[in-house]
Structure formats: structure tokens, C-alpha cells
Homo-oligomer: A and B are copies of this chain.
């Protein structure tokens, strides 16, 4: 065990055999297994339950057909189509899925010419059953780089039947979209590996939702998925490598409808998987879903919508003009790439106060237990409080001379802040905030700030009239603290609001209301994508944005706290 290992690994963990991978010398071929030890349930804000019209893409019909005779020898398929048209005159150009056709003759006779039928898109017969359908269900999925969220809805009345979320298993192959892209390029079958992983995750979530709601997977007829461009490409088995480098070209941007079995999902065999359209570059269907839910495109006021995830997406504008861009936030704000970071699960420090006189912290822990680590909202808090207490300078460096017992010097120039001592964690090792952690937050907030500033410049406005935070992260952070460290352009605190998991909510809207899919097409066409890295001012603005308070002096800003 090296000196560094002795320093960074608590004695308890040393006893359990923990070592540091970065300190390990490799002498021969070895297999490394990456374990996601953090398996607790994610706490996910539900999004506001905006009233959604229920005009689903899949409808259920009960039809009673006349049995064939020697005079009425219409084929089974025609007889069914005629019966459906009698029930609903809008069902004009009907088609039937081949798998359904195969079971049609047996089903019609078993049901004595009285059958339940599911019709997709007012056009394709996707199921025929001899017994009444229990129901017609749909799942909407927010396919995040780090976190997956899914909800199950009854397509007949729009009722929400359940939600679930989990980590994206792909994180073991790379933390952010670029490292995933790189995995597909460098590993043989890399694309299949990632594609299979995400399909498996989604299938398991659907299975869980179906079990909890007491329904059958066979009764799920549609899945609407939103995700960033890379996530969608990987799910669909499309090579994402050209999205990852200039000029950032995706294989496709239009909305996709694909048979569930071709998409590798086990629901109703002829069910449909729908992806909302992609905007451009990394700004994918998830952002279209955010706009669908937050609705800046129908407002007069200029709104800045910030969706904070591993890949951040920013939208600015109103009904007249809407700009969008993406920023490589990295997973720091989701608790990853932070030494003691974790997701917002039980044991995570989610709220921090630091006494400016003593530098002593006061923490709130999810589940009211001993802390295990710190999650995104806690990280924003601790950084803001370290700034207020003078532990950090506005350039992000530690003030080694602040004289607090909780600030420990590290090496000749650096320091770290002890947020929880070994005793406070109940012997699970210290929870510390390192210089590297601070830098990761600076990069994330710098990316968001620069993206927003450049869009404001393009639109020619000084400040947005409203800021809407989308994403689970936006629901939990202390907005005052985020504003204090300079994560957003300056607006009054009351002009900032949280929309919860807006991407998930937008996906659900598109699931329940097929008119929303038309609207999504319009949005994707209407939004102007800005490649911020092309802007000549980007480097300067990004550099300013890396500074806490965005390049303005610390003293000037103290008033804001």
C-alpha cells in the first residue's frame, strides 16, 4: 500500500481490502470489473403534472364480426378491416402487421368473431385478441447519459400508473457521451455492447413498472423515448462517431418509429417505439421534450431553459425565436467525478451550511442517516458556503491561510475541506472537498454560463426574463447558492423556477397525445442550434465563466448572499 493509498483510504476501508486503482502497477494481463456500488433508489422529482390531453397513438376497439358464409366469403383480414371501419370511420387505410396476420385466423375463430383489436396510428392493426384487452398501456422514457427515468401510463385515460429510475449501466463504459462514443470506436462490437446494455436497462425498468402496476408487458403498445443525440444513436444501433467531432453530424434527426421487436424491446410484439426528433449536434429529443413541457415557444417573454445533466442543454428565446446549444457539463453536478460524490440517494449530503466564523459545516443528509458522500445539490451548497466563508477564492483556489481546522493543507500549494470527519460518518472515512472537485464544478458551471451568455449575445438581450431549471438536479439545488457561485446569468432569485424532470414530462406528453408529436416536429424545425464552440468569443466567456461570480470581483458580489 503506497503512502497515497494510506492517506486517501480510511482505515476501515483499508481493512476491507480497498486499494486505489491509480496507484496499482499492472504486471500482467488482468480483468478489471467496474462495479456500480451505488444501488439505492434515485430520488427523482416528478415534474409538474401539466394537464395533458389524452389523444393516444394506440387505440383499442371491440369488434363483433359476422361469421363467414358461402355467400359472404370475405377474407379474415378484410372482414376485420370492415368491422373496424364500422366502429370508427376514420380508420380508412388500414394495414396489418405480419405477426398479427399470422395469429388472425385462429384468434377470430377462438373469439367466435368477437375480438379486441389494438390499432396504431389510426392505421396499423398491431394486436387482435380473442379475450377483451385488459388495457392499452404506454411507457415514456428519459434516456439520460447517467440516469434513466421511466413512467407507465394508461393510454385510455392518461392516468400515471408508476415511475421508476436507475443508473444507466453504460456508465461502466464511460462517464459522458464523448467517452461512450470513443468506446464504440475503439472496442470491437463496442456499439453493440452499449446498445445491448441500454436496451437491457430499459427492459428491466419496464418489467418493474409492469409488475408493480399488475399489468402484462404484452399490454404495453407504445414506448416514447427521449435522450440526447448520442444516447438515441446508440439505442438505435447507429454509429455515433460523427456526432462527436466537428462538424458534429448525426445520422438522422427526424422522429423515428420502429417496431418494438426490431428495437429489441419485449412489449406487445408489434408495438411501436417512438423517438422525438433531434434538434442538432448533441441537442437531442430530450431537449425537444423539455421545450414541449416548459413551452418557451408559445410565450412572449424570453425564457432561458437550462437542463442540467451530464450533457447540459440550454434553450433561450420566446415565440418569435428560439436558440439552443449544448454544453459539456460533465457528471460533476450529478455527484460523479467528485472524490466523495454520489447520487441523490440515502446517505448523500444534500444541504450544507458553513459557519463563517469557525468554518464548521452543518449538513442535511438524505434519509437522516450518517453521511456516505455528497450529491449535486450538496456540492453547489458547499462551494457557495466555502466562498462565503473565505475558504475559496473566486478563482477557485483554496485560501490556505483562512485558519479553520476543517481546512487541511495538502502538499506545498493545495488544500482540502473536511466536510465530514471519520467520526461524523460513523467510521466510513472522511468526506472531503478537494481542489480537483472545485475545478470540476468550475468547468461545469463555466460551460453552462458560457452557453447561456453566447445565446443571449446572439439574441441581443442583456438578461432573460425568466430562468427555468429542468432536470432532477434543478429541482433540488439551492437556487440562491447556484446564483451566488455564478452558475446562471444574473436575474432576481424569484425569476428562477424549477420544472422538475421536464424531459420525462415532455416524453409523457408525446406518449399520451399524438398532437404533441406534431408539435415536437415543429419545435425541432423551429429551434436554431448554435454551435457555441464556433463562436470567437467562446474561449473568453468560458474562461470568465470558470471564475466564481463570473470574472467579477469577490467583494462586489458578497451582497448577493
Q: Which residues of A are at the interface with B, using a C-beta cutoff of 8 A?
A: 68-70, 72-78, 96, 98, 101-102, 104-106, 109, 236-239, 241-242, 246-254, 258, 262, 278, 280-281, 529, 531, 534
User: Are A75 and B247 closer than 8 Å at their CB atoms?
Assistant: no
Between A248, A251, A253, A531, the greatest number of chain B beta carbons within 10 A of the residue's beta carbon is seen for A251
CB distance from A57 to the nearest CB of B (A): 18
User: Are A249 and B77 closer than 8 Å at their CB atoms?
Assistant: no
Given A76-B250, A77-B251, A253-B78, the answer on whether A102 and B70 have CB atoms closer than 8 Å is no
User: Are B76 and A531 closer than 8 Å at their CB atoms?
Assistant: no
**Which residues of the other chain, B, contact A531 by a CB distance below 8 angstroms?**
70, 73
User: Are B247 and A101 closer than 8 Å at their CB atoms?
Assistant: no
User: Are A70 and B250 closer than 8 Å at their CB atoms?
Assistant: no
**Which residues of the other chain, B, contact A70 by a CB distance below 8 angstroms?**
246-248, 531, 534
User: Are A106 and B75 closer than 8 Å at their CB atoms?
Assistant: no
User: Are A254 and B73 closer than 8 Å at their CB atoms?
Assistant: no
List 14 extra interface pairs beyond A75-B251, A76-B251, A105-B239, CB under 8 A.
A68-B247, A68-B249, A69-B247, A70-B246, A70-B248, A70-B531, A73-B249, A74-B249, A75-B252, A75-B253, A76-B250, A101-B251, A102-B237, A102-B239
- Which 4 A-B residue pairs are closest in the complex by CB-CB distance? A77-B252, A75-B253, A75-B250, A70-B247
**Cα A34 to Cα B534 with chains together (Å):** 73
Between A106, A250, A529, the greatest number of chain B beta carbons within 10 A of the residue's beta carbon is seen for A250
Q: Could you jot down 23 A-B contacts, CB within 8 Å?
A: A68-B247, A68-B249, A70-B246, A70-B247, A70-B248, A72-B247, A73-B280, A74-B249, A75-B251, A75-B252, A75-B253, A75-B278, A76-B242, A76-B249, A76-B252, A78-B252, A96-B252, A98-B236, A102-B237, A104-B251, A105-B238, A106-B239, A109-B242
CB distance from A253 to the nearest CB of B (A): 4
**Cα A72 to Cα B246 with chains together (Å):** 11
**Which residues of the other chain, B, contact A72 by a CB distance below 8 angstroms?**
247
Given A70-B247, A70-B534, the answer on whether A258 and B76 have CB atoms closer than 8 Å is no
User: Are B101 and A238 closer than 8 Å at their CB atoms?
Assistant: yes
User: Are B238 and A102 closer than 8 Å at their CB atoms?
Assistant: yes
Given A76-B250, A247-B69, the answer on whether A241 and B105 have CB atoms closer than 8 Å is yes
Partner of A254, one of B77, B102, B250, B254: B77
**Cα A253 to Cα B74 with chains together (Å):** 8
**Which residues of the other chain, B, contact A68 by a CB distance below 8 angstroms?**
247, 249
**Cα A77 to Cα B278 with chains together (Å):** 12
**Cα A36 to Cα B96 with chains together (Å):** 38
User: Are A105 and B242 closer than 8 Å at their CB atoms?
Assistant: yes
CB distance from A297 to the nearest CB of B (A): 21
CB distance from A133 to the nearest CB of B (A): 21
User: Are A529 and B249 closer than 8 Å at their CB atoms?
Assistant: no
User: Are A252 and B73 closer than 8 Å at their CB atoms?
Assistant: no
**Cα A238 to Cα B100 with chains together (Å):** 10
Return the chain B residue nearest A252 by Cβ: B77
**Cα A98 to Cα B74 with chains together (Å):** 34
User: Are B534 and A252 closer than 8 Å at their CB atoms?
Assistant: no
**Which residues of the other chain, B, contact A109 by a CB distance below 8 angstroms?**
242
**Cα A47 to Cα B242 with chains together (Å):** 53
CB distance from A236 to the nearest CB of B (A): 8
**Cα A76 to Cα B233 with chains together (Å):** 13
**Cα A77 to Cα B251 with chains together (Å):** 6
User: Are B73 and A281 closer than 8 Å at their CB atoms?
Assistant: yes
**Which residues of the other chain, B, contact A280 by a CB distance below 8 angstroms?**
73
Given A106-B239, A238-B101, A239-B105, the answer on whether A248 and B73 have CB atoms closer than 8 Å is yes
Return the chain B residue nearest A259 by Cβ: B98
CB distance from A452 to the nearest CB of B (A): 21
**Which residues of the other chain, B, contact A278 by a CB distance below 8 angstroms?**
75
CB distance from A534 to the nearest CB of B (A): 6
CB distance from A224 to the nearest CB of B (A): 18
**Which residues of the other chain, B, contact A96 by a CB distance below 8 angstroms?**
252
**Cα A236 to Cα B102 with chains together (Å):** 8
**Cα A101 to Cα B241 with chains together (Å):** 14
**Which residues of the other chain, B, contact A249 by a CB distance below 8 angstroms?**
68, 73-76, 105
**Cα A238 to Cα B249 with chains together (Å):** 43
Between A236, A239, A249, the greatest number of chain B beta carbons within 10 A of the residue's beta carbon is seen for A249
**Which residues of the other chain, B, contact A69 by a CB distance below 8 angstroms?**
247
